[in-house]
Amino acid sequence: MVDLPVNALTLVVFAVVALLGLAALIYLCQEALLFYPERLPAGYAFSVPDAEEVRIEVDGATLSALHLELPHPKGVVFFLHGNAGSLASWFVNAWFYRQVNFDLFMVDYRGYGKSTGRIQSEAQLRRDVMAAWLQIAPRYRGLRTVVYGRSLGTALATGLAAQIQPDLTILVSPYWSMVEIARLHYPLLPTALLRYRLPTFRDLARIQGPVLLLHGDRDPLIPFDHSVRLLAVNPNAQLVRVEGAAHGDLQEHDQYMKAIADRLAQL
C-alpha cells in the first residue's frame, strides 16, 4: 500500500467532505430546485366574479383556494396547477368553465399565493391535496367529478384520481416521474437524493375511468415522449398532441381548448 503525502491526503479528505456537504445541501434544500411560488399579500383580493375564496386548514398551515360556483353545474373540475406562480396567474380562464358549465376549484400549495407554511415533503403535498378535495367533495355527490393536473400537478392529480376514481382525469404536460425530469435537467444530480419522486406512471395505471392526456409537441421542459409512454400505461387513456405548443402556452391553442370542451361535454 502506498502512503499518500500529507498534503494529498488533506485534499482527498477535503474533497470527500465537500461532496458530502453538497449532497446534504441538495437533499435538504431541493425544494428550491422544484418549486417557484409567487407569494401574495394576505390582503390580496382576487377579482373573479362568482369565485369564492376558500381557506383549507391543514397540519401547520392554511391553504388558499378559489371556488367558482355556477347556478346549476354538471359537476366540478378540481385543478392542480404547475410549479410556478399562484392562483393570481392560474385562475384566469373562468369564462371557459362557465361555457362548459362546470364549477372550478383550484388550490395554492403551501407557500404559494396566500397559502401559509412551506412544502417539506411529497407525502405532505399529497395529504394537502386530499384535504382540499375532501373539503368540497360533499357538495358534488351525484354530479360529475373531474381531476385536472397540469405539469407538476399531474403526478398529484393521478395520485388523487387513483384514490377517488373521478369521472374523468385530465393531465396536461404530464411527466413519467420527477426522477426522469431531474435526469433531463440536472444530469449531475444523483437521483438517489431526490425526495420528490412523483411517479405519475405508477398511479396512472390504477385509474379505472377515462384519462385525457394533452401535450405540446414542442415542449422543451417535459418532452412529448413522456405522454406517449404514459399513454401505454392505461388502456383508458387518450392522447391529444397539441401541434406547435410548448409548455406554458397550450391554452393559446384552439385544439387544446376544444379537446377539453369536447371531453367535458361527453360526461
Place of cell 438517489: 192
Q: Which tops the pLDDT comparison, 177 or 186?
A: 177
Question: Which of 19-28, 36-45, 156-165 is least confident?
Answer: 19-28
Give pTM, 2 decimals. Answer: 0.91
Average pLDDT over all residues of the chain: 92
Work out the pLDDT band at 134, boundaries 50, 70, 90. very high
Bridge-based pairing of strands 51-58 and 61-68 is: antiparallel
What is the pLDDT, as a whole number, of residue 186? 83
What is the pLDDT, as a whole number, of residue 50? 87
Q: Which tops the pLDDT comparison, 213 or 30?
A: 213
Is the pLDDT at 136 greater than 50, yes or no?
yes
Is the pLDDT at 244 greater than 90, yes or no?
yes
149 neighbors 155 (Cβ within 8 angstroms): yes
Is the pLDDT at 6 greater than 80, yes or no?
no
Is the pLDDT at 27 greater than 70, yes or no?
no
The C-alpha atoms of residue 212 and residue 201 are separated, in whole angstroms, by: 14
What is the pLDDT, as a whole number, of residue 190? 83
Is the pLDDT at 7 greater than 90, yes or no?
no
Is the pLDDT at 201 greater than 50, yes or no?
yes
Q: Is 4 exposed, middle or buried (0-12, 13-18, 19+ CB in 10 A)?
A: exposed
Q: Which tops the pLDDT comparison, 90 or 4?
A: 90
Work out the pLDDT band at 42, boundaries 50, 70, 90. very high
217 neighbors 234 (Cβ within 8 angstroms): no
Q: What DSSP string runs through 139-201?
A: GGTTSEEEEEEETTHHHHHHHHHHHH--SEEEEES--S-HHHHHHHH-TTS-GGG-S----HH
What is the pLDDT, as a whole number, of residue 65? 98
Tens digits of residue pLDDT in 43-98:
999 988 889 999 999 999 999 999 999 999 999 999 999 999 999 999 999 999 99
What is the pLDDT, as a whole number, of residue 28? 57
Type of residue numbered 195: R
Residues above pLDDT 70, as percent of the chain: 89
Q: Which residues is 103 bridged to in the sheet?
A: 76
Work out the pLDDT band at 21, boundaries 50, 70, 90. very low
C-alpha cell at 59: 397540519
Work out the pLDDT band at 8, boundaries 50, 70, 90. low
Tens digits of residue pLDDT in 122-133:
999 999 999 999
